[in-house]
Structure 1
Amino acid sequence: METRTVLVTGAAQGLGQEFAVALAGRGYRVAGLDLVPQPETAGRILDYVELVADVTDEAQIAAALDRVIDRFGTLHIVVNNAGVYPAKPFEETTPEDWRRIMRVNLEAPFLVVRAALPHLRAAGWGRVVNIASAAVFTAPPTMVPYVASKAGLIGFTRALAGALAPYDITVNAIAPSMVRTATAERTVGADGGFAQVRARQAVGRTQEPSDLVSTLLYVVDEGSGFLTGQTLNVSGGSVYL
Structure 2
Amino acid sequence: METRTALVTGAAQGLGQEFAVALAGRGYRVAGIDLVPQPETAQRVLDYVELIADVTDEEQIGAALERVIDQFGTLHVLVNNAGVYPESPFEDITPEDWRRIMRVNLEAPFLVTRAALPYLKAAGWGRIVNITSAAVLTAPPTMVAYVSSKAGLIGFTRALASALGPYDITVNAIAPSMVRTATAERTVGADGGFEHVRAQQAVPRTQEPSDLVSTLLYVVDPGSGFLTGQTLNVAGGSAYL
Please provide the CA RMSD for this pair: 0.7
Answer yes or no: is 1:132 the counterpart of 2:102. no
Checking the alignment, whether the CA contact within 8 Å between 1:105 and 1:149 is kept in structure 2 is: yes
1:64-96 deviation digits (Å, cap 9, x = unpaired):
000000000000110000000001111111111
TM norm structure 2: 0.99
Alignment coverage as a number of residue pairs? 241
Q: CA deviation at 1:191?
A: 6.2
Unaligned residue ranges in structure 2 (runs of 5+): none
Q: CA deviation at 1:208?
A: 0.1
TM norm structure 1: 0.99
- In 2, the alpha carbon distance for the partners of 1:84 and 1:154 equals 16
Counterpart for residue 153 of structure 2:
153
Checking the alignment, whether the CA contact within 8 Å between 1:124 and 1:168 is kept in structure 2 is: yes
Counterpart for residue 76 of structure 2:
76
- In 2, the alpha carbon distance for the partners of 1:95 and 1:185 equals 26
Counterpart for residue 109 of structure 2:
109
Q: Secondary structure at the match of 1:170?
A: strand
Counterpart for residue 227 of structure 1:
227
| Amino acid in the other structure paired with 2:10 | G
Q: CA deviation at 1:187?
A: 1.0
Aligned structure 1 segments of 4 or more residues deviating by more than 6 angstroms: none
Answer yes or no: is 1:193 the counterpart of 2:161. no
Checking the alignment, whether the CA contact within 8 Å between 1:89 and 1:142 is kept in structure 2 is: yes
Q: CA deviation at 1:189?
A: 2.5
| Amino acid in the other structure paired with 1:107 | E
Checking the alignment, whether the CA contact within 8 Å between 1:10 and 1:34 is kept in structure 2 is: yes
- In 1, the alpha carbon distance for the partners of 2:237 and 2:190 equals 22
Checking the alignment, whether the CA contact within 8 Å between 1:185 and 1:191 is kept in structure 2 is: no
- In 2, the alpha carbon distance for the partners of 1:190 and 1:66 equals 41
Checking the alignment, whether the CA contact within 8 Å between 1:174 and 1:231 is kept in structure 2 is: yes
- In 1, the alpha carbon distance for the partners of 2:120 and 2:207 equals 32
Q: CA deviation at 1:190?
A: 3.7
Q: Secondary structure at the match of 2:229?
A: coil
Unaligned residue ranges in structure 1 (runs of 5+): none
| Amino acid in the other structure paired with 2:17 | Q
Q: CA deviation at 1:4?
A: 1.0
| Amino acid in the other structure paired with 1:151 | A
| Amino acid in the other structure paired with 2:94 | T
Q: Secondary structure at the match of 2:179?
A: coil
- In 2, the alpha carbon distance for the partners of 1:26 and 1:152 equals 30
Counterpart for residue 143 of structure 2:
143
Matched-pair identity in %: 87
- In 2, the alpha carbon distance for the partners of 1:87 and 1:13 equals 21
